[in-house]
Amino acid sequence: MNGDTLYSIGDLARRTGLTVKTIRFYSDRGIVPPNARNRAGHRLYGIDAVARLDLVRTLRDLGLDLPTIRKVLDRELSLPEVAAAHAGALSAQIRTLRLRRAVLTAVARRGSTPEEAALMHQPARLSEDERRHLIGDLLGTVFGEPDTDPRFAAVTRSMTPGLPDDPEAEQVEAWVELAELARDPDFRTVMRKAAEQYAADRWRARATPAGSGTSGCSP
């Protein structure tokens, strides 16, 4: 192909391996515009159309949508910036798929009912901030300390288990069980009473001088 020759859609189809219908579709949307039309009104394209079509096919294979591809081709968007944003979105999708796989593995292993599967999936899909809030709320109920205390925030972070990007089914099960306990009012009551008893025992231990215990004998 030389730079002065114009080519029909059929020519482009033979040279790119794309169908005439596909090339016409891209042309109608301004992604690969024609350079001219012949006397019969048929579209004619320049040599740059082949390169544009090759790039369009590559970007489509990578999952980019057509409006974004058009902006890249028209230099309205930087390809590296688009690639970085798309890679980030794909990473998030991959993490979501891995979590779903772990949940489904756990459901299959436990022989869960549909209702149990739904209950398992809900806490497993919480974000890191949502998990931290859940545990922080539990600790606030148990210890009664404000979450504005930096020490309390540090305890919350240390006691909030995270899920790796590629969790095992056992890790998902463990987190789901913890989330269920954290939301259980009875569990919160038991933990609150245990914390109060522990605090009272420590206070009595500090208030009682060493060696001042009673022997149980009369003077």
pLDDT score of 147: 52
pLDDT at 216 over 60: no
> One-letter amino acid identity for 18?
L
**Candidate from 20-34, 74-88, 117-131 with smallest mean pLDDT:** 117-131
- The mean pLDDT value for 21-46 works out to 90
Higher pLDDT, 21 or 112: 21
Enumerate the domain spans of the chain.
9-64, 87-204
pLDDT score of 152: 55
pLDDT band at 14 (very low <50, low <70, confident <90, very high): very high
Higher pLDDT, 132 or 16: 16
Q: What is the pTM of this model?
A: 0.51
DSSP string, 6-69: -B-HHHHHHHH---HHHHHHHHHTTSS--SEE-TT--EEB-THHHHHHHHHHHHHHTT--HHHH
CATH 1.10.1660.10 is held by the domain 9-64: yes
- Measured CA to CA, the distance from residue 32 to residue 48 in angstroms comes to 9
The fraction of the chain above a pLDDT of 70, given in percent, is 81
**Candidate from 29-38, 122-131, 148-157 with smallest mean pLDDT:** 148-157
Q: Average per-residue pLDDT in the chain?
A: 79
